[in-house]
């Protein structure tokens, strides 16, 4: 752009009316001997007698005259040479870059203003008008050559280059000096004796610029993302309830042995333990929504194969002479489904901060609403599966799983990641290093698994907040899972002598979770916009843990139900608040592996406790075992109070961490 303008200026300036006459003016109007005026960077030696005629007002005009005389400028009257680096600069030398006689200007340039102002009192307006016309023509020419060029920008930049339209104050202060600017543009080897400080951008010139195209990485709308996420969670939970109810019943009905149901339960738990931690490294290297959608698709395929095996044996029992739905085959497929669920659980811990950004309160709101949808969908899924079982049989209920999971996979695959909320965007820190050797051999894959697991463990145990957060997360999850999966059925049968009471107690527990999520949501959305600190909910959960004593102190269902409801409500609120705090605090590049390690610890505790309590219930009186569990939970409640105190510790400082609550 600047080269084009300079070339255009060199062509047009000699054509200005009266410009060649300035050469005669320079040679004839001044004595031969004159001291030179010093300008930093350029030294112009011109007749000094002209300085008495040239004031600040005419500096701009002299620039035009001097430029017009350049083609015919010769002889000893004017000398251009580099000035010393430390030449003194004065306000007068800056205001008047060259000393030229104004009174002897060409008549063609001053005719238009003779009647309006005394001689030598105002700029040569005719010359300025001519230069403005030249600038307009130049801008039009540039616009024709380049359609994308801005006409306003060209004109503004051209005016600044020649000094046209500049205020007297600007020239006097050295902000605009046309002579050095023009000379340095035409003579690239000359260095101007000042720095042009005025901004020549289109915005500074007041030129309207066209709006830029939409950024392809523009953040998605949070409300839309939340609706999609809730829809995917609802479909996922309905399918999971159908699978959880149908497979154990099918194993008992088809195989006729309780041990196969127990073995399948162990395989389910172990696969969740391993693949929840294995998923951590994958989630740190790939999109969480893509990972969870592929895991859901694979689980739907494994369940679909199980349905096909059971259906083939039912429709064509004697075709092959042996059943296709062998216990070992069903165990392998069910274990694969558990592995997929482990990946999904870890992915669901990573997605919220990726969508929201670094904003703990917003993540808590997101998780609370998600958990409420999760619990409502769980009730709907259980009721729907029970209705189908009563009408069409167990295998028909299992048919609910594949379409529900495929719908969830499609929804999660269409969730746009990349900070949709108002929080600080996730930092662009380096992703987890790739492990290329993991695909070369099973041994390398095992090493990669333990490498990621170790990285997750270091990230958790390396910070005080994360260590206590793991304890305050894993212990309540252990209590909740073992309570609903083992302790409530045993208590209903042996302590209350009413197996049907298990359904009421489990219902109270599920309702308590829904209430706990609602309490956290209400706390975050009340008038002042401030929710309770995470430590408050952990202390409340510690109190709720003591409600387990109800199973040892009474057999009245009317007393047990509200206490179980309170225990589950306090657990849900604490779990959601603390999990959100850790999601916000853990660095982006380690979040998958950190939560993978936490999930592995939780699943390991659940599996160990379930097996251990099973042996205890077989070896000792159930009432004594419940009494011992109540004592152990009392000790854990005290430890949770201590953990709550340490959870008030701020998250580690750094670009990856922001802890608002």
Nearest to 179 by CA among 192, 189, 197: 192
Identify the band that residue 130 occupies on the pLDDT scale cut at 50, 70 and 90.
Answer: low
- pLDDT at res. 216: 31
- pLDDT at res. 502: 83
Mean pLDDT for 463-467 is 88
**Opening angle at CA 100, ends 94 and 104, nearest 5:** 150
- pLDDT at res. 618: 82
| Model confidence at 208: pLDDT above 70 | no
Q: Give the DSSP H/E element, type plus range, for residue 505.
A: helix 501-525
Q: What is the CATH number of domain 221-425?
A: 1.20.1250.20
- pLDDT at res. 3: 59
Whether 221-425 shares its CATH topology with 460-661 is answered: yes
Identify the band that residue 358 occupies on the pLDDT scale cut at 50, 70 and 90.
Answer: confident
Question: pLDDT (tens digit, 9 = 90+) per residue, 276-286?
Answer: 888 888 888 88
Percentage, residues of the chain above pLDDT 90: 22
- pLDDT at res. 479: 87
- 43: β partners: 38, 81
Percentage, residues of the chain above pLDDT 70: 59
The residue with greater pLDDT, 610 or 562, is 562
- pLDDT at res. 628: 92
CA 649 to centroid of chain Cα atoms: 25
| Model confidence at 420: pLDDT above 50 | no
- pLDDT at res. 299: 96
Please check whether residue 643 is in contact with residue 472, taking contact to mean a CB–CB distance below 8 angstroms: yes
- pLDDT at res. 252: 74
Question: pLDDT (tens digit, 9 = 90+) per residue, 46-93?
Answer: 444 444 444 444 444 444 444 444 444 444 444 444 444 444 544 444
The residue with greater pLDDT, 172 or 580, is 580
Choose from 227-236, 519-528, 604-613 the range with maximum mean pLDDT: 227-236
Least confident of 135-144, 598-607, 651-660: 651-660
**CA 105 to CA 618: how far, in whole Å?**
118
Number of CB atoms found within 10 A of residue 82's CB: 12
Least confident of 360-364, 483-487, 615-619, 649-653: 649-653
Helices assigned H by DSSP within 146-257: 151-162, 168-172, 178-186, 222-250
Least confident of 312-326, 410-424, 579-593: 410-424
Residue 615: left (phi > 0), alpha (psi -120 to 50), or beta?
A: alpha
- pLDDT at res. 588: 84
Mean pLDDT for 512-535 is 82
DSSP summary character for residue 495: I
| Model confidence at 191: pLDDT above 90 | no
CA distances from residue 18 to 77, 106, 127 in whole angstroms, order as listed: 20, 6, 9
DSSP summary character for residue 424: B
Q: Would you give the end-to-end CA distance of the chain in angstroms?
A: 53
- pLDDT at res. 270: 87
- pLDDT at res. 484: 81
| Model confidence at 468: pLDDT above 50 | yes
| Model confidence at 307: pLDDT above 90 | yes
Rg (alpha carbons) of the chain, rounded to whole number: 41
148: tokens are 């994308």
Residue 419 CB partners (closer than 8 Å, separation 6+): 219, 354, 355, 356, 357, 425, 426
| pTM, full prediction | 0.60
The residue with greater pLDDT, 168 or 153, is 153
| Model confidence at 205: pLDDT above 90 | no
Mean pLDDT for 128-149 is 54
Mean pLDDT for 543-552 is 92
**CA 275 to CA 280: how far, in whole Å?**
9
Least confident of 203-207, 290-294, 366-370, 389-393: 203-207
- pLDDT at res. 87: 47
Nearest to 575 by CA among 625, 617, 622, 512: 512
Mean pLDDT for 445-459 is 83
**CA 369 to CA 364: how far, in whole Å?**
9
Mean pLDDT for 379-397 is 87
Question: pLDDT (tens digit, 9 = 90+) per residue, 245-300?
Answer: 888 778 777 777 667 777 787 888 889 888 888 888 888 888 899 999 999 999 99
Mean pLDDT for 88-113 is 44
The residue with greater pLDDT, 608 or 192, is 608
Residue 180 CB partners (closer than 8 Å, separation 6+): 39, 41, 42, 97, 190, 192, 193, 194
The residue with greater pLDDT, 109 or 226, is 226
- pLDDT at res. 135: 55
CATH value of 460-661 in 3.40.720.10, 1.20.1250.20, 3.90.10.10, 1.10.10.10? 1.20.1250.20
| Model confidence at 513: pLDDT above 60 | yes
Mean pLDDT score of the chain, rounded to an integer?
71
Choose from 6-10, 147-151, 245-249 the range with maximum mean pLDDT: 245-249
3-state secondary structure of 284: helix
Question: pLDDT (tens digit, 9 = 90+) per residue, 323-337?
Answer: 888 888 998 999 999
Domain ranges of the chain: 2-186, 221-425, 460-661
The residue with greater pLDDT, 597 or 33, is 597
**Opening angle at CA 414, ends 373 and 297, nearest 5:** 80
Please check whether residue 245 is in contact with residue 386, taking contact to mean a CB–CB distance below 8 angstroms: yes
| Model confidence at 545: pLDDT above 50 | yes
- pLDDT at res. 441: 66
């Amino acid at each position: 752009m600047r080269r084009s303008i300079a070339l255009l200026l060199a062509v047009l300036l000699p054509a200005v009316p009266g410009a060649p006459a300035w050469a005669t003016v320079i040679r004839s109007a001044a004595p031969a001997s004159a001291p030179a005026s010093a300008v930093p960077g350029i030294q112009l030696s011109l007749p000094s007698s002209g300085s008495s005629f040239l004031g600040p007002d005419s500096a701009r005009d002299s620039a035009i005259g001097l430029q017009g005389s350049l083609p015919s400028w010769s002889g000893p009257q004017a000398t251009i040479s580099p000035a010393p680096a430390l030449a003194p600069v004065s306000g007068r030398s800056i205001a008047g870059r060259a000393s030229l006689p104004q009174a002897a200007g060409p008549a063609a340039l001053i005719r238009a203003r003779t009647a309006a102002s005394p001689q030598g009192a105002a700029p040569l307006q005719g010359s300025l008008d001519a230069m403005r016309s030249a600038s307009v023509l130049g801008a039009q020419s540039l616009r024709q050559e380049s359609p994308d060029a801005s006409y306003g920008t060209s004109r503004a930049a051209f005016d600044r280059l020649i000094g046209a339209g500049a205020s007297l104050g600007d020239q006097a202060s050295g902000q605009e000096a046309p002579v050095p600017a023009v000379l340095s543009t035409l003579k690239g080897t000359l260095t101007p004796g000042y720095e042009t400080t005025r901004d020549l951008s289109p915005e500074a010139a007041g030129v309207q610029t066209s709006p830029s195209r939409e950024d392809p990485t523009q953040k998605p709308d949070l409300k839309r993302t939340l609706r999609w996420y809730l829809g995917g969670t609802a479909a996922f939970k309905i399918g999971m309830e159908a699978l959880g109810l149908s497979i154990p019943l099918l194993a008992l009905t088809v195989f006729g042995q309780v041990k196969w149901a127990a073995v399948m339960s162990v395989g389910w738990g172990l696969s969740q333990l391993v693949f929840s931690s294995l998923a951590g490294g994958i989630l740190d290297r790939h999109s969480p929504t893509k990972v969870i959608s592929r895991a859901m698709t694979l689980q739907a395929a494994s369940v679909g194969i199980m349905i096909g095996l059971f259906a083939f044996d039912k429709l064509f029992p004697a075709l092959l002479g042996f059943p296709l739905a062998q216990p070992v085959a069903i165990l392998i497929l069910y274990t694969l489904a558990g592995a997929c669920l482990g990946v999904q659980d870890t992915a669901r811990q990573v997605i919220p901060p990726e969508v929201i950004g670094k904003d703990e309160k917003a993540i808590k709101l997101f998780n609370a609403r998600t958990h409420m949808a999760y619990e409502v969908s769980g009730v709907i899924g259980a009721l729907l599966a029970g209705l189908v079982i009563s009408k069409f049989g167990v295998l028909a209920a299992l048919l609910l799983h594949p379409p529900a999971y495929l719908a969830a996979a499609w929804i999660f695959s269409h969730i746009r990641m990349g900070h949709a909320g108002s929080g600080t965007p996730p930092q662009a820190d380096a992703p987890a290093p790739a492990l290329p050797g993991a695909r070369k051999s099973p041994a390398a894959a095992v090493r990669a698994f333990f490498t990621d697991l170790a990285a997750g463990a270091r990230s958790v145990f390396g910070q005080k907040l994360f260590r206590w957060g793991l304890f305050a997360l894993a212990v309540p999850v252990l209590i909740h899972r073992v309570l609903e999966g083992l302790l409530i059925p045993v208590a209903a049968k042996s302590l209350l002598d009413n197996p049907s009471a298990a359904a009421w107690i489990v219902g109270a527990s599920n309702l308590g979770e829904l209430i706990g999520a609602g309490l956290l949501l209400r706390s975050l959305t009340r008038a002042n916009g401030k929710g309770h600190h995470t430590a408050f909910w952990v202390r409340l959960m510690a109190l709720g843990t003591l409600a387990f004593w109800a199973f040892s102190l009474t057999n009245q269902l009317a007393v047990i139900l509200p206490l179980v409801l309170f225990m589950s409500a306090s657990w849900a609120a604490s779990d959601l608040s603390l999990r959100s705090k850790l999601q916000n605090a853990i660095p982006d590049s380690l979040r998958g592996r950190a939560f993978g390690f936490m999930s592995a610890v939780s699943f390991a505790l659940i599996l160990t406790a379930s097996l251990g309590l099973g042996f205890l219930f077989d070896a000792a009186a159930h009432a004594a075992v419940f009494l011992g569990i109540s004592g152990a939970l009392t000790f854990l409640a005290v430890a949770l109070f201590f953990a709550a105190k340490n959870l008030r510790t701020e998250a580690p400082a750094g670009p990856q961490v922001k802890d608002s609550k």
